[in-house]
Amino acid sequence: MHLQTLDIVIIVVAVSICFIPALMMAHRAGKNTGEFFAAGRAAPWWLIGISMVATTFSADTPNLVTNMVRTGGVASNWQWWAFALTGMATVFFYARLWRRSGVLTDLEFYELRYSGKGAVAVRGFRAVYLGLFFNCVIMATVNLAAAKIAAVALGWPMWKTLVICMSLKGIFAISSGLWGVLIIDMLQFGITMTGSFAMAYFAVKAPAVGGMAGLLSQTSQTQLSIFPNMNNPQAMLTLLILPLTINWWSVWYPGAEPGGGSYIAQRMLAAKTERDALFGTMFFNFMHYVVRPWPWIIVALSSMLVYPHLADIHSAFPHIASGMVKDDIAYPAMFKCLPHGWLGLVLAGLLSAYGSTIITHLNWGTSYLVHDFYRRFLRPNNTEKHYVLAGRVVTFALMILAGSFTFFLQSAQEAFNLILSIGAGTGLIYLLRWFWWRINSACEIAAMISSFILSFGFFILKKMGHDVPTPLPLLLTIGITTVVWVTTAFVSKPTDDETLDAFYRKIRPEGPGWKVVRERLQAKGEDIQVESTFTTSILAWTLGVLGIWTGLFAIGSFVYAKPVPGMILTVVFAGCCVGLTVLIHRLWPHHDDKGSGPDPEPEPELAVVRS
């Protein structure tokens, strides 16, 4: 494939636009770590929501969806659609708690919630484990996608792609801090979504596809079906049953963490108010699950007609190394369907998607390594400018390490499975630690060690050629890890009373899990009243998940030329949105300006009982 002048101009303009906020925010980001890592806690809901959705739309995401659809049909997307349960739980149960905690990073939470050397150890360990190792794995998957896209479109070897792309995005992350990241994400998201819809439009116009009518008539119902074949127990188990019953609450995955975490928590902590944290996270979930998937799915289905076999892709692009030709490369292979000009826009969009993810992960990982490790353990009493400089140095180092790790991966699906397995079994802790006083730092350490040893062991076995049935490693890791940390909760020393009391005063969690602490404080004469919102939040969560799925499937029905089911689902979707509006007003009944403005954040010591 050869780019023309118009394509190159479009790409250069798209990249140049993003230099503006990077340069404008460089001075502000250099003031202190609060600005560099948390945008001064002044970000509005719409900006953090767009940033979240831009970050999760990575260059590897359409490749991953293409991989899933080509190997398991549209129904295989339930592997990530099921995480809508997690996302909406974060909106209605955890967004306000995170914002109320007032921490700079979600790892700082550990010394707010736990006590003793264990709290210090788990914060330091996770700073390195997530900020360095886990973060580099995620960035490597994004780099792999960028390398495959560049190999198809430009004929570049992997090393060249990594040097150019990571250097470019590294400059943004090093200079601009989180404010710059948020604004760059907003600009890049517009370019990315435009390219995504353009890619789907031209994919179905390919001669081998013959428009939407040709796509639907030539593709089997098994491939098109939104739900797995009920006559295939293996597919039902791995694609639908496990994601909906186990994976969503048990697996820690960036962007869909049980209880919120990583860059999702970072955005919530940067919000102006609890209300901004909630609306931003809810906006992200609707955009992530309802708006974005179908353009990718349409391209993936079209690619099965243009390139029925991997050999067809290799024949069309013989210069690409055979080890890189997996099903995920079918997405960039569809670039051949694009006319010039549109090719440049789509490439600019994917470069933007790559950039928004990379700069977020560089900033997020650096916040862990600098604020939660370097500042906490190595140089605790230095100036703010020193820590900002350290952040910029660490950002550069992360960029190099992530680029190096990219050479060890082969496909987006392989990386997705590895990330899921590494976090298997830990998710329930992140859900319950806000609502059960007995969970302590030892539980978190035990869960992380158990999950890592088991998942990495299964990964090595597979690499050595041993045939391990697909769901077995994940199920064993989840089961054993859960047993390990629950046992640890009852046999280890609990968090000290002083820390638990302070946490309860600040966060005011509801439910029976804090009965012991509540009664102890009442005995001291402290009658701390908490918001009674659990029932309303459960209903809002249910409507939110139903709204996401009905909206997603309504669009799918129209894509499949089934207007009647599409209209029915649209009506249900609209009803869910109306219901959510009512429930949100119950959860936040007081407003600054007739309901459109954010609530004033209450003082930690004061609370209003809300029915």
Is the predicted pLDDT of residue 611 greater than 60, yes or no? no
CA nearest 595: which of 585, 582, 583? 585
What is the C-alpha to C-alpha distance for residues 356 and 354, in angstroms, rounded to an integer? 6
Which pLDDT score, from 0 to 100, does residue 431 have?
92
Rounded to an integer, what distance in angstroms lies between the CA atom of residue 55 and that of residue 182?
10
Q: Is 583 exposed, middle or buried (0-12, 13-18, 19+ CB in 10 A)?
A: buried
What are 43-88's pLDDT values in tens digits? 888 988 898 888 887 777 888 899 999 999 999 999 899 999 999 9
- Tell me the range of 115-129, 243-257, 418-432 where mean pLDDT is highest: 115-129
The more confidently predicted of residues 232 and 501 is 501
For 165, counting Cβ atoms within 10 Å of its Cβ (0-12 exposed, 13-18 middle, 19+ buried), the class is buried
Higher pLDDT, 532 or 413: 532
> Per mean pLDDT, which range of 133-142, 340-349, 409-418, 501-510 is the poorest?
409-418
Q: Is 171's pLDDT higher than 90? A: no
Q: Examine the pLDDT at 603 and tell me if it is beyond 60.
A: no
Binned at pLDDT 50, 70 and 90, residue 601 comes out as: very low
Confidence (pLDDT) at 342: 92
What is Dmax (Cα atoms) for the chain?
77
Whether the pLDDT of residue 593 is over 70: the answer is no
pTM: 0.83
Flag whether pLDDT at 516 surpasses 50. Answer: yes
Alpha-carbon distance of 312 to 73, in angstroms, equals 19
Residue 607 has pLDDT above 60, yes or no: no
pLDDT at 374 over 90: yes
What residue segments make up the domains of the chain, in order of their start? 5-410, 533-606
**172-196 burial code (b ≥16 CB/10 A, e <16):** bbbbbbbbbbbbbbbbbbebbbbbb
pLDDT at residue 597, as a whole number: 38
At position 458, the amino acid (one-letter code) is F
Position 557 pLDDT exceeds 90: yes
pLDDT tens for residues 84-104?
A: 999 999 989 998 888 888 888
Residue type, 83: F
Please report the DSSP string for 14-55 in residue order: HHHHHHHHHHHHHHHHTS-HHHHHHGGG-B-HHHHHHHHHHH
Give dist(CA 326, CA 509) in Å, integer. Answer: 47
Percentage of the chain with pLDDT > 90? 35
Give the residue from 83, 2, 8, 445 showing the smallest Cα distance to 259: 83
Give the CA angle between residues 564, 570, 576 to the nearest 5°.
145
pLDDT value for 609: 31
Q: Please say if the pLDDT value at position 305 is more than 80.
A: yes
> Is the pLDDT confidence value at 574 over 90?
yes
User: Is domain 5-410 annotated with CATH 1.20.1730.10?
Assistant: yes
Confidence check: pLDDT of 311 > 80 = yes
Burial of 338 (0-12, 13-18, 19+ CB in 10 A): buried
Q: What is the CA radius of gyration of the chain?
A: 24
Rounded Cα distance between 250 and 252, Å, is: 7
More confident residue, 533 or 492: 492
